[in-house]
Amino acid sequence: MQLAESQRWIHRVNTSALVLLLISGTLHNLPELRSSIFGGYDGWVADFHIWTGILFISFPALMLARTKGALLRILRARIFKDPAWHWRRMHLILTICACSIQGTAGVMLLLDIYVPLNITLADALFLVHRTGAWYFALSLPLHLWMARKAITRVLRKWAA
């Protein structure tokens, strides 16, 4: 698999997983909405959220291992070598930070099933996890707006 294709696959998989995580997290946290749609099934929604989160965390790591660090070198060049602060650089930095924080908080909340956390720490992790979800939910429309020319170009290519 080419390097550019690996980057596209990371973007496709993580964007799709992010949308599914936002939907399943919303359904998990709003039991009235979930029960009106599914008639309950919180265990199923929670399991789906956990497995999608595992995909969200592991897929970029798998692609980094598959490309033997070449993706990491490209990412480092895009973030540190470019002197100008522009949309792509800011987007990469914020996305990496938010994904890392979300992934860490999610894993720690998952481990709470096996090793009970202090209630204050668990509440703080929920706050961090929900704040990250709000960040992603609000930044997704901005991301689509900034990428509108590329999206239009791809859609026209598909239509041709």
Beta carbons within 10 angstroms of residue 99's beta carbon? 17
pLDDT tens across 29-59, in order?
Answer: 787 777 777 776 777 888 899 999 999 999 9
Domains in the chain: boundaries: 1-80, 82-160
One-character DSSP codes across 15-64: HHHHHHHHHHHHHHH-HHHHHHHHSS-HHHHHHHHHHHHHHHHHHHHHHH
Residue 113 and residue 50 in contact, taking contact as beta carbons nearer than 8 Å = no
pLDDT tens across 86-113, in order?
Answer: 777 888 888 889 989 999 999 999 898 8
